[in-house]
Structure 1
Amino acid sequence: MKKHKSLLLLLTLILAIGTVLAGCGSNNKNDDQSAKGDNGKPKEQVFRMNFASEPPTLDPGQSQDNASNTVINAVFEGLARKGTDGEPVPAVAESWKISEDGLKYVFTLRKDAKWSNGDAVTAKDFEFAWKRVLDPKFTPAPPYVYQLYYIKNAEAYNLGDIKDANEVGIKATDDHTLEVTLENPTPYFLNLMSFQTYYPIHSSAKDNDKWATKPETLIGNGPFKMSKITKGQKIELVKNDQYWDNKSVKLEKVEMSIVNSSATELSSYRNNELDYAGQPTGSIPTDQLNAVKKELPEELNIKGISSTYFYVFNTTAKPFDNVNIRKAFSMALDRKAITEKITMAGEIPAFGFVPPGIKGVKEEYRTEVPDTYFEENLDEAKKLLAQGMQEEGYTTLPEVTLIHNSDDRHKKIALAVSDMWKKNLGVEVKVQNQEWGVFLKNRQNLDYQIARSGWGADYNDPMTYIDMWTSKSGNNDSGFKNEEYDKLVNEAYSSSDNAKRMEMMADAEKILVQDNQVVLPLFYYSNVSLVKPWVKGLTLDYKGDIDFTRAYIE
């Protein structure tokens, strides 16, 4: 498949140096000047953004979506945090040592790290949080529990093969020292220390399963703390004066509205009611994108990111328990038409699952392993559909429904895709919009046939896209189980030969996309957002996550 070279270069640059968002110039004004200056700029250090959907959880052990993580990443902090180049820098841990064999990590925690209530953050808080996620009795089962399986005996304890949590390779030897022993050398383990599943939890959570739902019990250790939650309307954060590095935090408040309308979000931005609009928590109407390009060229940011937009099949539900029918649906779509006429923001049509911008052996993984797992071929799609229907004894397909979460952009894409299926395959597909929390539960419970999905890198290695489809992964919402796939992932986990690791992950991706068509890749994301000229220090990482913790108003 041809790829746009400039976009690939941009992805590489994002990985290398990060992205600092800034703009210059806006003539928009707002009648309400009580909290704003004459040009609409906030008079105080307040940052305003919108969420298209309410975060389903603020518990780092249960989180798996952008909305939740955006809040969690401000309220909590791990042993390390992402630097401007995307690489880990000291956070709660002031330093660490790694054994020569790569199996043992000793983290030394800074003594001035505190919780928002003034308690000291200790190594025991990390041990508690990690073992809490691994506890077989912890419900609902954390979707990212497998992300802790790198730790010695973690998987065995989580699956009940080992009963004693003390046998897991996590040990607080004193208040400021955490020793972690791994099953195998893991080159990207330090990157995981800034991932939400590895965040600490305050000990008060032991006796309160609702601790993450109220500001007064949501005790965090990050740059901000929760001050207000108005369900379905607004979330408010304020600066955490107990944070060890609070001198680097200039914003006094972050206001997050919850409005599920991209048109309203854009209108609010134009009226200077928002300082930021667009992804990853919101969106800009695609039918207004050209107008925005002309109206606000200096404030609009369109950047390639390492994330994939795709549909996932429920491989246990009819008619998609048949691989030929899955392949037919995938091959019958025109991805170029979707990116050029529907999304219109420089996205790259996808024919694999791992996006550009992810490290390989010497170059990007996607450069070394081209995404040529399948091609769009209408004639072949019709043949495969007929073959699949014959195998299942169908004269007509069962009713098919495609579900997506509430978002104007997702709806437009889904309607375009369903129209292609009707035109190219003669198949009627119902499109159904669902509220985010309901949508997630239906996907997790396999209560769907085809569902919208998206995935951004948790760390800079192809494994972050590959291991989510193992039979034990809490993020595998497809019903797909394949022994060969699991074996390849386990062997890649244990290998210290990076070239062999990449080869095994490429083989696994082939099983996922080409052989079984578990996922239907549509395109590799770009981030489309607007940022006011007075906002400085706002950053996006290589997968498009927003970091406002060191931002400020100028």
Structure 2
Amino acid sequence: MKKNIFVAMSSILVLGAALAGCGGNSAQPADSGQKPSDNNQQAAAPEKSGPKVLKLNLHSEPPTADPGISEDTTSAAIIRATFDGLTRVGADGQPHESVAQKIETSEDGLTYTFHLRDSKWSNGDEVTAKDFEYAWKRALDPATASNYAYQLYYVKNGEAFNKGKAGKDDVGVKALDDKTLEVKLENPTPFFLELTAFPTYFPVNQKVVEADAKWATEAKTHVGNGPYKMESWEHKSKLVVVKNDNYWDKDTVKLDKIEFAMVEDENTELSMFDNGEIDWAGSPTSALPTDAIPALKESGKMKSQPIAGTYWYKFNTEKAPFNNAKIRKAFAYSIDRQSLIDNILQTGQIPAMGALPMSMAINKDGYFKDHDIETAKQLLEEGLKEQGLSKLPAITLSYNTSEGHKKIAEAIQDQWKKNLGVDVKLENKEWKVYLEDLHQGNYQVGRMGWLGDFNDPINFLELYRDKDGGNNDTRWENPKYKELLIKSATIQNHDERMKVLGDAEAILMDEMPIMPIYFYTQSWVQKDNVKGVVISGLGDVDWKWATVE
């Protein structure tokens, strides 16, 4: 989604017995052909006496638990636990009917009709088709200021409404009755049922939302329709969810409670794991301390899995000196990505020479060379002349609080000093504050990770389509780039569409508003008695089918 807080759809992992003896990069999918409920029945452990409680660490305070404005992996983890969509991605990596028990698609692929099952909100209210219509239009409403509104642009007139060019009633989502939702799309969208499993497409309870603007920031006012409901939220300290007895599929949910600590220091988190205070440490809700990774790998305790995500630095293209593409490229070309992976990250990441991760890459050879200092120096000299500068002023590199981000920033700071002769000041901030400063343009260079919402290049490339796009903190825009992305939505032939998207990525990499650094892997340690946690190949986590033996 996704803005990823850590250094961290091609596959799904079911993290249970199949992984108990695996380490390094050897983890393999389990039960990948089964539907979620079937998988849970196959893998169900014998019931134990007493409540089943899973203890985890979130690393950081979730900025929100509102699916309409969520934009990061930390918030999404809590939202997936407490909400349910029309579809839900199962253990086989595919979207399955969830709140929708039957889905009909027109022959032209432009109209979807969702027939809803009987289900309830955690407060006992009925979940209706109107809740979905309200939620989608709320996320698109400019007044909501959702940075993920563009994810609903696939819906007819979704973009037009979001940009003030159409009315709310023109949006192609309509509750025909309490149990029937009709959706009309702008263009045929093969991955649409993956999108309906994404938080921005989740319903919200209109009565609850309109009664309290801060409904999603406190446990006592939070209402969801998912496997769990929020019991308590001690801000920046602890968050607890418990089994939701009003959930339509409650018999599948085996855990009674999930307790989340919020400890930012990764070494402390690993100590908590070693001491039995938590059952899991590291990805996807936190990170392992980099200094501990060699020993964890050697012991065979660490699990690792590549995911469809890219770690990059963003440039603020509205502020000098990074309003110059050649200077941006000089900074990107001058760093040694492989040394960062070998000496700091150490979990099999791949140097990123393009924006698109390997599962959706169009140009697998990339667009530039790693550690190309000669070209970087030439570009810097040319860029400085264009800017009327004799040398670069000191710049500021920002990152959110994390040991891993700090070590990467320190290494790149040293490389930029050595290779380009530039002085770099490092600045770290708490996650929520950091996100807000990026959105406000209060930065020069800032780190961010993006994990795919679905396994298609458009999901990464569309981030930078519009200067005022919700996740485009670079403020960069290119008319030709935008034209190519819009054109791609109308192309049915796969190869032709990939050619157009490849041309767009080439423009993005030529102007370099972002600096790709590496493609993600996720690494973690878990107790052997934790079974059934589902982590997708996109890095999403779902505890619906989890249990503790």
Q: Which TM-score applies when normalising by structure 1?
A: 0.90
What amino acid maps onto 1:462 in structure 2? P
Which amino acid is the alignment partner of residue 469 of structure 2? S
Aligned to 1:38: none
Q: Which residue of 2 aligns with 1:189?
A: 192
Measure the CA separation in 1 of the matches of 2:175 and 2:237: 40
Structure-2 change in CA distance of 1:16 and 1:303 (3 Å): closer
Unaligned runs of 5+ in 2: 1-8, 23-47
Aligned ranges 1:87-106 → 2 under 5 Å: 87-106=94-113
Q: Is the partner of 1:357 in helix, strand or coil?
A: helix
The one-letter code of the counterpart of 2:297 is K
The corresponding residue for 2:215 is 211
Asked if the contact 2:352/2:366 (under 8 Å) is kept, the reply is no
The partner residue of 1:452 within 439, 447, 471 is: 447
- Counterpart of 1:407 in structure 2 is 402
C-alpha distance 42-286 of structure 1, shift in aligned 2 (>3 A): farther
Q: 1:127 aligns with which of 133, 139, 147?
A: 133
Q: Which amino acid aligns with 1:136?
A: P
Match of 2:261 in 1: 257
One-letter amino acid of the counterpart of residue 364, structure 2: P
Q: In the aligned structure 1, how far is the partner of 2:241 from the partner of 2:483?
A: 44
Matched, 1:417 2:420: no
User: Aligned in 2, Cα 1:166/1:264: closer, same or farther, shift over 3 Å?
Assistant: same
The equivalent of 2:225 in structure 1 is 221
Shift of residue 371, structure 1, vs aligned partner: 3.9
Equivalent position to 1:74, from 78, 81, 96: 81
Counterpart residue type for residue 331 of structure 2 = F
Question: C-alpha separation between the residues in 2 aligned to 1:226 and 1:392?
Answer: 53
Aligned residue for 1:264, secondary structure, equals: helix
Q: Are residues 1:175 and 2:178 paired? A: yes
The amino acid that maps onto 2:133 is E
Instruction: Please point out which of 301, 304, 317 is paired with 2:303.
Output: 301
Partner of 1:520: 515
SS at match of 1:194: coil
Residue of structure 1 in register with 2:478 after alignment: 482
Which of 354, 363, 368 aligns to 1:369? It is 363
Residue 224 of structure 2 aligns to which amino acid in structure 1? G
Looking at structure 2, the residues matched to 482 and 425 of structure 1 have their Cα atoms a distance apart, in angstroms, of 27
**Paired residue for 2:313, among 311, 314, 323?**
311
Distance in 2, matches of 1:242 and 1:466, equals: 39
- Which structure 2 residues correspond to residues 22-421 of structure 1 after superposition, within 5 A? 22=17, 24=20, 44-111=51-118, 113-138=119-144, 141-163=145-167, 165-203=168-206, 204-295=208-299, 297=300, 299-358=301-360, 366=361, 368-376=362-370, 377-421=372-416
The number of residues matched between the two structures is 512
- For residue 85 of structure 1, give the secondary structure of its aligned residue in structure 2: coil
Q: Helix, strand or coil for the counterpart of 1:137?
A: helix
* Cα displacement (A) at 1:176: 0.3
Q: Against the structure 1 CA distance between its residues 321 and 481, is the aligned structure 2 distance closer, same or farther, given a 3 Å change threshold?
A: same
Show structure 1 runs of 5+ residues with no match: 1-13, 27-40, 359-365
In 2, Cα distance between the equivalents of 1:416 and 1:280?
Answer: 24
Deviation at 1:85, TM superposition (A): 2.0
Deviations 1:493-528 (A, max 9, x none): 122222222111111111111x10111111000111
Residues 283 and 524 of structure 2 are in contact (CA less than 8 Å); yes or no, is this contact kept in structure 1? yes
Q: Secondary structure at the match of 2:130?
A: helix
Alpha-carbon distance in 1 for matches of 2:12, 2:284: 19
So what's the TM-score if we normalise by structure 2?
A: 0.91
Deviations 1:325-374 (A, max 9, x none): 1010011011110101110000001101110123xxxxxxx2x5224211
In structure 2, how many angstroms separate the alpha carbons of the residues matched to 1:157 and 1:288?
50
1:357-408 deviation digits (Å, cap 9, x = unpaired): 23xxxxxxx2x52242111311111111111111111122122000000000
Please provide the CA RMSD for this pair.
1.6
Q: Tell me if structure 2 keeps the 8 A contact 1:61–1:142.
A: yes
TM superposition shift of 1:83: 1.3
- One-letter amino acid matched to 2:503: D
The answer on whether the counterparts of 2:400 and 2:430 sit within 8 Å (CA) in structure 1 is yes
Which residue identity is paired with 2:471? N
Runs of at least 4 residues of structure 1 off by over 4 A? 21-26
Report the secondary structure of 2:293's partner residue.
helix
Q: Can you list the C-alpha shifts for 1:35-80, whole angstroms capped at 9, x where unaligned?
A: xxxxxx9963111111121111111111111110000000001000
Alignment-mate amino acid for residue 183 of structure 2: V
Change (3 A) 1:42 1:307: farther
Q: Is the 8 A contact 1:301 1:528 kept in 2?
A: yes
- Structure 1 distance, partners of 2:478, 2:403, is 35
Corresponding residue of 1:504: 500
Amino acid at match of 1:101: D
Cα distance change on mapping 1:489 and 1:24 into 2, 3 Å? closer
